Amino acid sequence: MKTCGSPDDVFIPIIGLTGSGKSSFISLCMGEEYDENEDVPLPGATGFKVHSFKHSSGRTVHLIDTPGFDQPGREDHEVLQECVYWLSKSFEAGIKVTGMVYTYPIDLMRLPGSARRALQMFKAMCGIQNAPSTVMATTMWDKVEREVGEERVDTLAEEQDFWGDFHDAGSRILPVLSDQRSALKIVNLIISSSTGLTLQIQQQMILDKMMLHQTDAGKILYGNIMTEKHNLEEEIDEIKRSMQEQLVQARQDQVRELEEMARAKHDKLETRVAAVQEIQKTNNDLTVMWDIRVKDDMRRMRLELLRNQEHLQDLEDSLAGRATNGAYQERKEREELERELKRMRKKVEMLQRENRFGATAGVLLTGGKVVGGGLGVAAAIIPLVACCIM
């Protein structure tokens, strides 16, 4: 296989809440227009995507878009599992993360519990020893008064619970304005601050062989799930007590209402019990589970790509057969076809990019085994991986 990557390549995962501007930040770095409608993943697809570009230093930078925390319809433990899976997979293949970016929307008025947890999980995944190679990238500056935003940055930098501990340990808070320069400043800072990290989560899951719920990042989520579970159990007990009282007094309507409430709480409790099981996983468990999902994803993406390539060909044929100077109606139809063709070309390009990342996953899935696995395979794996990404 031809090798076109280099051990010099830069890998930067971009992590943050859903809607915090991860994909927009990546587009700014790449100098591309971001269209969130084209960023819709295939149903059930995994959320990691790699976007690569040549940096002015000559190094290839791979920005890794990750699924957002606090997504409607997707639980945070699944997002954490996916992050851990990729970070483990790449670490085992000898790829070291150069730095990490956490996107934070500066217009966020108050940090809800889930947002606070996502921030804590990010810090726990990195480990404070890696703080100098992390950046909090603040987004949405056009949505707040500058002074208000600056005050929030001060709070983030001071409060230990927010970014204070990381800030004191050398992490920077930098704004992403709507220009490429401010975005690249973040990438430049990371490149100049790091030669490759062992993240806390990689140390704990792979080297120390902990289960996910025992790691610092896992503990944060696990604690929350256990609290939710405990609260639900108490609420169900309370409902049962009330039901007994109502039964004694033969109030059938109230009993039925309470039964309904108990059922709803039970359903919720079941999701928490499942979540507990999902977080009590070893690295090996996660690898088995997510390898299957990634392979499925790759298959579906290839099919989607083929379908779209066929559609693209049909459009091109259809356009080729039309006169450029026909009647008004024909010109309108031609313009519409041209627009559709443009959309389809973009979609095919995007799918090809994702497919290449799928291939990257494929290399990671098999590459480690072919060349013996472990950490000593960096030189062999990195060119292969980079080749598939680019």
Ligand X SMILES: Nc1nc2c(ncn2[C@@H]2O[C@H](COP(=O)(O)OP(=O)(O)OP(=O)(O)O)[C@@H](O)[C@H]2O)c(=O)[nH]1
Of 67 and 94, which CB lies nearer to Mg ion in the complex structure?
67
339 binds, among Mg ion, ligand X, none (CB under 5 to 8 A by kind): none
Contact call for residues 80 and 290 (beta carbons, < 8 A): no
CA separation for the pair 284, 265 (Å, rounded): 33
Give the nearer residue to ligand X in terms of CB position, either 140 or 344.
140
Contact partner, 161, from ligand X, Mg ion, none, Cβ < 5-8 Å per class: none
Minimum CB separation from ligand X for residue 83, in Å?
Answer: 12
142 binds, among ligand X, Mg ion, none (CB under 5 to 8 A by kind): ligand X
Give the shortest CB-101-to-Mg ion separation in angstroms. 13
Shortest separation between residue 298's beta carbon and Mg ion, angstroms: 20
Residue 16 partner contact from Mg ion, ligand X, none using kind-dependent CB cut-offs of 5 to 8 Å: ligand X
| Binding partner selected for residue 20 from ligand X, Mg ion, none, CB under the kind-specific 5 to 8 Å limit | ligand X
Residue among 79 and 363 whose Cβ is closer to ligand X: 79
Comparing CB distances to Mg ion, the nearer of 22 and 117 is 22
Roughly how many angstroms between the first and final C-alpha of the chain, as a whole number?
A: 14
Tell me the C-alpha to C-alpha distance, in Å, between residue 211 and each of 121, 134, 244, 286, 292.
15, 25, 41, 10, 20
Structure token digits, residue 269: 């409790």
What CA–CA distance (Å, rounded) separates 149 from 143? 9
Nearer Cβ to ligand X (173/380): 173
Query: Which residues contact ligand X (rule: CB under 6 A)?
Result: 16, 18-24, 36, 68, 103, 139-140, 142-143
Residue nearest to ligand X (CB): 68
- Tell me how far, at minimum, the Cβ of 18 lies from Mg ion, in Å: 8
Instruction: Quickly list DSSP for 190-238.
Output: HHHH-S-B--HHHIIIIIS---GGGSHHHHHHHHHHHHHHHHHHHHHHH
> Which one, 19 or 362, has the nearer CB to ligand X?
19
Site for Mg ion in 19-48 (CB under 5 A): 22-23
Amino acid identity of 54? K
Report the C-alpha gap between 20 and 260 in whole angstroms: 38
CB of 36 to Mg ion, least distance (A): 7
CB of 26 to ligand X, least distance (A): 8
∠ CA 224-271-243 to the nearest 5 degrees? 95
Q: How far is the CB of 22 from Mg ion (least distance, A)?
A: 5
Q: Which two tokens stand for residue 89?
A: 């997979």
Rank residues 33 and 317 by Cβ distance to Mg ion and give the closer one: 33
Cα 283 to Cα 206: distance, rounded to the nearest angstrom: 7
Indicate if the alpha-carbon torsion angle 71, 73, 77, 81 is positive or negative: negative
Please, what is the minimum distance in Å from the beta carbon of residue 86 to ligand X? 15
**What type of residue is 128?**
I
- Rounded CA-CA distance 134/174 in Å is 11
Q: Is 139 in the site for Mg ion (CB under 5 A)?
A: no
Cα gap 31→72, rounded to integer Å: 29
Size of the site for Mg ion (CB under 5 A): 2
Q: How far apart are CA 163 and CA 144, in angstroms?
A: 20
Residues in the site for Mg ion, rule: CB under 5 A?
22-23
